[in-house]
Chain A
Amino acid sequence: MVEVPSRGATIAAWREQGGGIAAVFPIHHPRALWRAYGLLPVEVWGPPVTDTSRGDARLQAYTCSVVRCGLAFLESGGLEDVDLVVVPHACDSLQGLGSLLLDFAPPRQPVITPYIPRTRDAAAAEFLAHELRSVGLRLAEITGHQPDAAAVMACNQAEAQADRQRLALFEARRHLPLTNLEFYRLVRAREYLPAQDFAALAQAALAERIDEALPGPGVMLSGLLPEPMALLGVLDRAGAVVVADDYACSGRRHYRAGSSDEPWLNMAQSLLAGPPDPTLGHPIAQRVDHLVQACQSAGVDAVIFHGVKFCEPERFDLPMVQAGLQARLGLPCVDLEVDLASPLGHQAVTRIEALVEGLS
């Protein structure tokens, strides 16, 4: 089994090479951009089960726990060693977080808040290319790096390769001798490993592919992120295999490579070419089509909607997505809602166990 380097070890190794670290909040962001300026993007999804009191001092209780945990982590010194804080515009709560950090609670590091468009036509790509260029100018001031077009394009290609490898891992999931927990530790390493390292790691994991398919009912997970990760342990114990993924942190970030020869436009095109995502304004019907296709090709037997409380983009889509999957595939669906600041509740465990038992 491949060994997944830890976040801490990765950061230390990167630092040793003289690189900087960018702490990046969810969801979509141009990994190639930070890399072009010598920064390693390390994503901050929560982190879960954090004491949120520092975040609660600035955010109302009805703000989602991804943001409350993230702010609490930052305010309690968890991001002290990074060189840059990035809060991409993803939703109203993350918008508020970015604004708070700029206006009222500035960390010691610079804060950058790139805007990711909600449309996907040529005008959106052009806007995003401009936006990325202007962030690049800011990064040049911060880091002193001045990458040329070829260097930016090389970063785009490296990230595209890593994205392809992550997608390959999901496609081969039934044949990878890994538990759900091990599999997600592997794919989530994309959140902090340099693209080249992740691609190599994924390649090594794919080399261990076995001929026979892993037994057990196939499950699709949908939501923001697989936290608390105890959920995956519950699925392992119940004998289910996560064969398809619609998490914002993973399955909704299988970006296709850009087509332009101009590196900034290429980067923008890629960022706009991910699977349907409610935060990016894709029509719900398009999302349902995508999920139906994913369920069919992966052999999904049930879907677990695993949302974070107060996350509007997930909650708005849920009734129509659930109805669409049930109408077209007759799949049983379970809706779990969690708060990242709390461990996985017994009720959730029981519901997952009952779901999988019903499939066996």
Chain B
Amino acid sequence: MSLLASARYHLNVDLIGNGFLRYERRKLERKLANPRPHPHLGPPLVTAAELKELISRHYLKGRYASGHKPVAWVTSGAPVEFLQALGFFLLYPENHGAVCGIRRKAEEYCSAAEDLGYSRDICSYARTDIGSVMTGKTPVGTLPRPDLLVCCTNICQTVLYWYRVLAEHFGCPLVIIDTPFVYDSASDHSVAYVLRQIEQAVEVAERVAGRSLEPDKLRQVTQLSRDAVDLWMQVLERCRHRPAPMTAFDAFIQLAPIVEMRGEDFAVGYYQRLLAALDQRIADGVWALKDERLRLVWDNLPIWHRMRWLGERFAERGVALVASTYTNAWGELAPLIDPAHPLESGARTYLHAILNRSTGHKLNVIKGLVSDYQADGVVLHSDRSCKPYSVGQIDQRGRLVGAEGVPALLLEADHNDPRSFSEEQVAARLDAFLEILES
């Protein structure tokens, strides 16, 4: 690591950047204190300004990280605690992809990747990332070049193909943490295999970072990870309240720290304040929707490029999305995380991510959410870009509607590529579904 890079980091992040972000946060807080009334939506969460500051600071740190800290690009479901403990700056290309989607930049980057020969049939997160990497464009300033790539296959096999492309492009080491798919229950040899790979990943990361992993530091980071995940689950569970103090659309945005800052103390602090804010809303009778009439569960990734449109469309019909399998996935594994045995429990935890489990398990999760959150129906986003999440949804919907008597809608879209989204078609299908629910 270089002294010059460290000086540049401290100047731009700690001195100038932090001051600017605090100023921006205060400005937004003042604006949020007197929000413009929305005909259907309740006031925004008071923590919105802090969240924006956290995310902006994360990318600001990334912008100046090269040379100051080792940088790892990691998949969203990867075990990151050992990397945090070794002082890596972590960048999550999927999260960056979501930011590009929200800011309506994904189409441009996807097209750039397609111009380079990447098929439109591959995942739009991957195309967004590859397009961004190859053109150097990003809405967050600059992405730091990775010193290490960590790819864990517990979310899909797509990341394996995608990170191989990144490894080729950047010429840096790629660590694959291969998590055998759990069709039923995880075998002992699967857990042992994942543990061995995490141990090997630690060795590679130590070499890249130029330092050894301190067991105490790892336990401390794992504890913070566990605390954040616990708090995240409590945040989500506040939506069991009827009416709900926030919706899944809020949760999709609030997800950023649990994905990007897992293992950091400020993520724990943020979720403590978010939880308190939700409790305050419940105490004050402030709800996500002014008139909540129906409650739905969302399955699969959000449609990042149409969040606002969908949110308002649901709100005007008095429909609150009170839970989603996607946001729930980041909290449901909390009991498996054991800070006293960080690597061992990590192997078991990361093996049990929802996308590494069977179609039947996912149906059970949906049924559980419908019951726990008193939902009236389910919207299953059939996501062209996410096969592991989407394959099985036709049967899941069939079981929900048939055996469970839960109304369910399959909605075709793509989480990041707006070209695979028909507003008219989605609106017509949603309207028809909601009419059935309302009748």
Contacts and interface: CB of A to CB of B under 8 A. Distances in A.
Contact of B187 (A60, A62, A134): A134
Most buried by B among A60, A313, A315: A60
Given A100-B392, A104-B359, A117-B180, A315 B119 contact: yes
B180 A279 contact: no
A250 B395 CA distance: 33
Given A103-B359, A117-B193, A284-B165, A316 B391 contact: no
Nearest to A335: B117
A98 interface: yes
A203 interface: no
B176 interface: yes
B97 to A, nearest CB: 15
Contacts of B399: 104
B157 to A, nearest CB: 5
Contacts of B161: 278, 312-313, 316-317
Interface string B184-208: 1001011011001100100000000
Interface in A106-125: 113, 115, 117-119, 121, 123-124
A92 B189 contact: no
A266 interface: no
Nearest to B151: A281
Contacts of A99: 181, 183, 358-360, 391-392
A165 B153 CA distance: 35
A123 B196 contact: yes
Interface string B116-140: 1111011100100000000000000
Contacts of A149: none
Interface in A324-346: none
Given A281-B164, A312-B121, A123 B197 contact: yes
Contacts of A310: 121
A97 B394 CA distance: 12
A116 to B, nearest CB: 9
B157 A58 contact: no
Interface in A194-250: none
A313 B157 contact: yes
Of A92, A100, A119, the most chain B CB neighbours within 10 A belong to A92
Contacts of B164: 278, 281, 283-284, 316-317
B119 A318 contact: yes
A174 interface: no
A309 interface: yes
Nearest to A62: B384
Contact of B157 (A92, A104, A126, A283): A92
Contacts of A319: 116-118
Interface in A289-322: 309-310, 312-313, 315-320, 322
B395 A318 contact: no
B58 to A, nearest CB: 28
A58 B396 CA distance: 10
A58 B183 contact: no
A86 B228 CA distance: 41
Contacts of B196: 123
Contacts of B396: 104
A310 B123 CA distance: 10
Given A92-B157, A98-B183, A320-B165, A59 B394 contact: yes
B387 interface: yes
A103 B358 contact: yes
A95 B392 CA distance: 10
B329 interface: no
Interface residues of A, number: 51
Given A95-B181, A309-B121, A127 B157 contact: no
A89 B356 CA distance: 12
Given A96-B359, A309-B121, A281 B394 contact: no
A60 B184 CA distance: 23
Chain B interface size range: 35 or more
Interface in B355-403: 358-360, 363, 382, 384, 387-388, 390-396, 398-399
A115 B161 CA distance: 17
Contacts of A89: 180-181
A115 B393 CA distance: 23
Contact of A119 (B122, B126, B176, B391): B176
Contacts of B59: none
Interface string A80-104: 0000000001011101111110111
B391 A92 contact: yes
A8 B157 CA distance: 34
A320 B190 contact: no
Nearest to B196: A123
A94 to B, nearest CB: 9
Interface string B25-37: 0000000000000
Contact of B391 (A100, A115, A118, A134): A100
Nearest to B167: A283
A92 B158 contact: yes
User: 6 closest pairs, A vs B, by CB?
Assistant: A96-B391, A103-B360, A319-B117, A130-B189, A316-B161, A127-B193
Interface of A: 57-60, 62-63, 89, 91-93, 95-100, 102-105, 113, 115, 117-119, 121, 123-124, 126-127, 130-131, 134, 278-279, 281, 283-285, 309-310, 312-313, 315-320, 322-323
9 contacts: A89-B181, A102-B358, A103-B395, A104-B398, A281-B160, A281-B176, A283-B167, A315-B122, A316-B162
Given A57-B394, A99-B358, A318-B119, 18 more contacts: A60-B393, A60-B394, A63-B387, A93-B387, A95-B388, A96-B387, A97-B391, A99-B181, A102-B184, A104-B392, A105-B395, A117-B178, A123-B193, A126-B189, A131-B187, A283-B168, A315-B118, A316-B164
Interface of B: 116-119, 121-123, 126, 153, 156-158, 160-162, 164-165, 167-168, 174, 176, 178, 180-181, 183-184, 187, 189-190, 192-193, 196-197, 200, 358-360, 363, 382, 384, 387-388, 390-396, 398-399, 412
